[in-house]
Every structure is written in structure tokens, then in C-alpha cells.
Structure 1
Amino acid sequence: MTSRVQQGRRTTGTDGGVTVFLIGMRINRFRALRRWLPVLTVMPRMLRELRADPAAGLLASRIVTSGPREYAVIQYWESTEKLLAYAADTGRTHRPAWAAFNRRARDGRGAVGIWHETYAVPAGAHESVYVDMPPYGLAAAHGSAPVGRQRDRAAQRLSAASSGA
């Protein structure tokens, strides 16, 4: 992925369906380091594992933070099926990390919170625009194309996506 700015107005390079997975953690008790540090450090390992195996289905991801207490990862997946297959695979990093988190959480009394949300967005139900940005979000996952006259407004992009044009 390049961080070079792409000049002008662009839109995502796909009109197909999109699977967006948001996952995050919140440190509730800073002093309980042994409860939350493993949670914080396992996500970069999972992302490296997924980047090393493009067939797993992760297309792009971005780590975001909201202060020293909250961390999240925005992920774009090839399909919901590939996301769920990765999550359930006992030979990959996620499943053992999830089991370890649950063991620690029982004794941790809420020292760390975790959350996730999955959005399976059908074709025609998403649109995007990027102005003078490097590849970001869906554009990092699927590439981007210049916004033409027929896709100048969000409503036009949604209409074109839902019609398959």
C-alpha cells in the first residue's frame, strides 16, 4: 500500500459487496497491565499473519486510537466467509488468543473491554469519495478511480453501484 497522495476526487474501485470488520479494546484499569497488554499486542501479530497470507481474505486494515485508553482496527475483507473462517481457525493466531483472553477476563474483573462489529454490505449499498488522499479505507482495499460526471454526487455513486453500472 502506498502513502502517496492521489490528486483530485476519487471513488472506490469496486461496486461489489464489502465486508467491514471493526474490532477494538478499552483499557478500563491501567494498573492491570497483565490483563490488557496481551490484548493490545496480539492484534498487530494477527494483522502481520493476515498480510503474509493474502488468500486469507484481509484486503486492508488501519489501526486507530482515541486517546490512551481506546484502540480499534478497521478491516476490509474479501468476504464474510473468509473473516469467519480466520476467526475459527485453531491453527491461526486469533482462536488461541481469544481463548487466552477469556481465561484472563474471568479473573480480570473488567480490567479490559473488547468489542467488535461486522458489516456485510451488499453491492449497491456503499459509496465513497476521497479528495487528495492516499489510498484509504475501501480505496486501500479495492483501489480507486477518478470521480466522473456520472458519479459526481454520493447519490449518483450509490445509484450507479446498485444498478451495476
Structure 2
Amino acid sequence: MSKIARGYREAPENVPDGVTPGHSVADVGTEEVVVFLIGMRIHRWHKVRSWFPAFVGMPRMLAELARNPELGMLAARSYWSGRVLLTVQYWRRVEDLGRFAKDPSRTHAPAWAAFNRHAASTGDVGIWHETYRVPADQVETLYGNMPAFGLGAALGVVERSAGRRNRTHERMGSTRPEYVEVTPTAP
């Protein structure tokens, strides 16, 4: 038997493979989480030579980071909307992120230098990043009938009924749903 929010009581029987039924939350632990947003905006589509190296550089960097988990990146996902490309990354420590960014033997530092030499002054493409250090007790997550996603994909998930509540939940006025007992179905 396990508990599930009443509104999701039939979800265990109905969700597709790979989806966690009911409510879950990221298993944040007690340390900080680093959320790193990085992206580019293509200002002039026809200036492919300016923006294409950055466009193909990010997948190379992400592949390198995925092959080397000791570098500290926990998970990443990329998105595209109009002229803007965005990658959301989760890191163990901001120091790991900084070390990777500056290491000349890794993919980022040479790509960064090449961008500055060839594209930065053209105005054809813009690049940006934002880094957030978030103490674990300031994180609030909720996933309803979702496969591993976001911070939950980076750190794993636990049932919401088992999840920790913190000051963020209280400030947001987050309520606990009414839970009911369900019998898990065999896979």
C-alpha cells in the first residue's frame, strides 16, 4: 500500500510507462542546488557563420558533461523558442560550474574564446547566462503524473506525501492534498 493524492487515485493504473503516478517532489537533500540558465538569441538568421558555432557548441559541451559526471553537472535540458535557445542545467556546486567554464582542456573555454574572436563584435547573435545558488530549504517542486523532469530528473523524486516541506511551501501557501491508500499494480 502507498498513499496518493485523492485526485490522482486512479493514476497508477492509467499513466504510461515511465511516468511516476500521483504527486512527487524533487529529492533535494540538504545542500544547495545550482540552477544555471544559458542561451543565445539569433539576431540575424542570415549570418549563419556568426551563430552556428555557438548553436553546435552547446550540444558538444552537454555531451562532454554527460560523459564526465565528476565535473558536477547533474542534468540539462534544452529548449528553442523563436530566436532564443535556452539550456537549463542543474549543478552540484557553483565552483564545479566555474571550473568547467574556465578549463582550457574542456569544450567551453575554447568555444568561448572563438566566439569572442569571431562573433561577439558582429551583433549577429547574443549570448547570456544566469546562475542561481538555491539553498535546499528554499526549493519547492511538484510533479503530477510526470516522468523525470527538471530538478526531479537531476536529483530523483520521492512521493509528495514523503517529501520534505519547508519555509518555501509555507510562504507559497502550499497545501497538502487529501491522501488515499492505493495498492500498487504490478509492472
TM-score past 0.5 threshold: yes
User: Which amino acid letter does the alignment assign opposite residue 67 of structure 2?
Assistant: A
1:48 paired residue number: 63
Bigger Rg over Cα: 2
CA distance in 2, matches of 1:50, 1:150: 29
Displacement of 1:158 after TM fit? 10
Give the counterpart of 2:95 among 67, 70, 81. Answer: 81
CA distance in 2, matches of 1:30, 1:136: 31
Q: 1:149 to 1:77 in 2, by over 3 A?
A: closer
User: Is 2:154 aligned against 1:141?
Assistant: yes
- Deviation beyond 4 Å, 4+ runs, structure 1: 149-153, 156-159
Give the counterpart of 1:102 among 109, 113, 116. Answer: 116
Give the counterpart of 2:139 among 118, 123, 126. Answer: 126
Displacement of 1:155 after TM fit? 2.5
Q: 1:52 to 1:105 in 2, by over 3 A?
A: same
Whether the 8 Å CA contact 2:27–2:163 is kept in 1: the answer is no
Displacement of 1:112 after TM fit? 0.3
Whether the 8 Å CA contact 1:10–1:130 is kept in 2: the answer is yes
* Gap runs ≥5 in structure 2: 1-16, 175-187
Q: 1:39 to 1:150 in 2, by over 3 A?
A: closer
CA distance in 1, matches of 2:96, 2:155: 16
Identity rate, percent: 46
Q: 1:52 to 1:106 in 2, by over 3 A?
A: closer
Give the counterpart of 2:38 among 10, 20, 23. Answer: 23
User: Which amino acid letter does the alignment assign opposite residue 145 of structure 2?
Assistant: D
Displacement of 1:123 after TM fit? 2.4
CA distance in 2, matches of 1:38, 1:128: 35
3-state SS, counterpart of residue 26 of structure 1: strand
Residues 80-116 of structure 1, C-alpha deviations (whole Å, 9 max, x = no match): 11000000100000000000000112452x1000000
User: Is 2:24 aligned against 1:14?
Assistant: no
Count of matched residue positions in the alignment of Structure 1 and Structure 2:
155
TM-score, normalised by the number of residues in structure 1: 0.87
* Gap runs ≥5 in structure 1: 160-165
CA distance in 2, matches of 1:143, 1:33: 39
